[in-house]
Structure 1
Amino acid sequence: MNPSARVRQPRRALHGVLLLDKPLGLSSNDALQKVKRLLRAEKAGHTGTLDPLATGVLPLCFGAATKFSQLNLEADKAYEATVRLGQTTATGDREGEVTQERPVAFDAQALQLALAALRGEIDQVPPMHSALKHEGKALYQLARQGQVVERAARRVTIHELTLLDWQADTLRLAVRCSKGTYIRTLAEDLGERLGCGAHLAALRRTASGPLGLADAVTLAQLEAESDPERLAHLLPPDTLLADCPEVRLDATEAGKLLAGIRRRIGLPPAARVRAFGPEARAFLGSARITAGELIPERLLSPIELRTLLEGPPSLTT
């Protein structure tokens, strides 16, 4: 064997959520793969993408936590967006070619009226430079070929759209919105309402559902840390269900739930709950309470539960 050949590092079963502060210029999948290699995790996924242009909160799921990634994908998101006024680009952001320039001539009142018009439920036409599919092809692939296809408008909700700063031809905005919202499109629509055009110059996600930047770690920090320090950033798998009420079961009832058996329970109805066994870290999975019954939904396997209770394994040498 060639002594200079690279030794394949062992993978291990990890179960939890790591909040990454994604750096600029890196795709979500590239960021995921880098962290997966650093943690030497067997199974990993992310909860929706952030464009390379964007930075900020990207929840990465490991092991059993991947079963609940859809919940965060459907959650509201919060951003800080920098909007460049007076220029429209081919992609709706700073990476595209400038297609039109117009003078910036509006006052503070006009800006507040334009922001107010974009709050609440609005219809958005998805941009051509997006990952949505048309006849099996991603829209951005068609856009790169010079094609433009008709896209149906989609209803989204802008819960918050607040001016943070205004300097000459640049706005900085706080946005909290429903899933499926395109901040590039929001910037373009604002520019049209102001009569000057606009594009998205920078974007930072500050929250994804209940998860915020306060608990996020940078890639550079992870690269500089030891293995125990990296593992310390792993949050429990039920972090993605932080908004759901908790139900604690004894050992017998926990075993029945894991077997997929409905149980009578003296609790009010709930669309989703976090179910736990008697041990402190014994997260069993998600369930719902309907007509006095606890109905299992997504559950951990016995192996996943045992690994979770034992804690993250150390690296072997």
Structure 2
Amino acid sequence: MKAGPKIPRRTLDGVLLLDKPLGLSSNDALIKAKRIYLAKKAGHTGTLDPLATGLLPLCFGEATKFSQDLLDADKTYEATMRLGIRTTTGDTEGEAVDTRDVTCDETAVVEAMKRFLGDIVQIPPMYSALKRDGKPLYEYARAGQTVEREGRQVTIHALQLIACALPLVTFRVTCSKGTYVRTLAEDIGEALGCGAHLTALRRTGVGTLTLEHAVTLDRLASLSEAERDERLQPVDALLSTFPAVQLNDEATQRFLHGQRLKLADVVKTGLEEGRVRVYAQEGGRLLGVARAGEGVLAPERLIVAAQ
């Protein structure tokens, strides 16, 4: 049987704020969105577990060059944990391995949560994608093996109780990259003396991006091509925390050829050292990202379409 003609793929640049559904992996969500858009190039900004829902920023075209910046960004979640039961996975997918009475009250929950604010050390869960000797930890776990894991420092910027209907506790957490909310729930449960596991997890923020303007896959599929394209955020939506620099025409051309520029030659001066987003003064086009320091502006990643 002869295959039908290939459907042409589109060149798209931008960021889609997707509200990922329950039970779908981040990669499967990416594949579905890429198919809906008929996009040539796309990638996500870090995985969200199948049992988690919520904000999953997807990058198309030139935006994929800056996906790492969201991998490094702080994340905000709303989570529900069930006190009194520990499971093999730290969530509802696992089997119960320990059951204890829940004797604490809401005041004790709030006090226990306070202990986890700031810099803390977490032991990564066995059911995670972290690798040991080239093999993901979850493969060891599925084989019934437990391997030693080093503790990792993470930062809990904010931890707020939303609802307490014991044994269920719902909280909001803003945390640094690498934080396991499952592990946080388990550790809070241990601090309360009864153990806990996560029953629901929803990501509501990644860096400065929020769930407010996110769209579901079903809704996306129902839109026209023009309406879907309107859903795409500009590439620099990933870079909003970086200071902005504008370049005149001459400096723009030099920058796009990868040349380092003297900071004194850029439109905006007085920059602190660090990464900046760079625009052309004429038309306000995003040119890429650079690092400012030691009196120079050094290009890091360039937007090909701007040339």
Of 136, 158, 172, 1:174 maps to 172
Measure, in 2, the Cα distance between the counterparts of 1:112 and 1:186.
14
TM (normalized to structure 2)? 0.95
Counterpart position of 1:311: none
Identity %: 55
1:118 aligns with 2:116: yes
With 270-279 and 114-123 compared, the bigger mean Cα shift is at 270-279
Measure, in 2, the Cα distance between the counterparts of 1:270 and 1:298.
17
Counterpart position of 1:216: 214
Of 152, 158, 173, 2:150 maps to 152
Give the CA deviation at 1:235.
1.0
Query: SS of the residue aligned with 1:96?
Result: coil
Amino acid at match of 1:297: E
With 60-69 and 108-117 compared, the bigger mean Cα shift is at 108-117
Aligned residues: CA RMSD: 1.3
1:272 aligns with 2:275: yes
Matches within 5 A, 1:237-316: 237-266=235-264, 267-268=269-270, 269-280=272-283, 282-301=285-304, 304-305=305-306
Amino acid at match of 2:302: L
Counterpart position of 1:106: 104
Give the CA deviation at 1:294.
1.5
Which consecutive segments of 4 or more residues in structure 1 shift more than 6 A?
A: none
With 172-181 and 268-277 compared, the bigger mean Cα shift is at 268-277
Matched-pair contact (CA < 8 Å) for 2:106–2:164: no
Matched-pair contact (CA < 8 Å) for 2:85–2:197: yes
1:140 aligns with 2:143: no
Query: SS of the residue aligned with 2:48?
Result: coil
Give the CA deviation at 1:253.
1.1
Query: SS of the residue aligned with 1:93?
Result: coil
Give the CA deviation at 1:96.
0.7
Give the CA deviation at 1:7.
3.9
How many residues are aligned here?
A: 302
TM (normalized to structure 1)? 0.92
| 5+ long unaligned stretches in structure 2 | none
| 5+ long unaligned stretches in structure 1 | 307-317
Measure, in 2, the Cα distance between the counterparts of 1:83 and 1:24.
17
Counterpart position of 1:31: 29
Query: SS of the residue aligned with 1:41?
Result: coil
Give the CA deviation at 1:292.
2.7
Matches within 5 A, 1:45-84: 45-84=43-82
Amino acid at match of 1:274: R
Give the CA deviation at 1:263.
1.3
Amino acid at match of 2:177: K
Of 185, 188, 212, 1:187 maps to 185
How far does the alpha carbon of each residue in 1:200-257 deviate from its partner, in whole angstroms, 9 at most, with x for none? 0000000001110112111111011111111111111111111111111122211100
With 66-75 and 267-276 compared, the bigger mean Cα shift is at 267-276
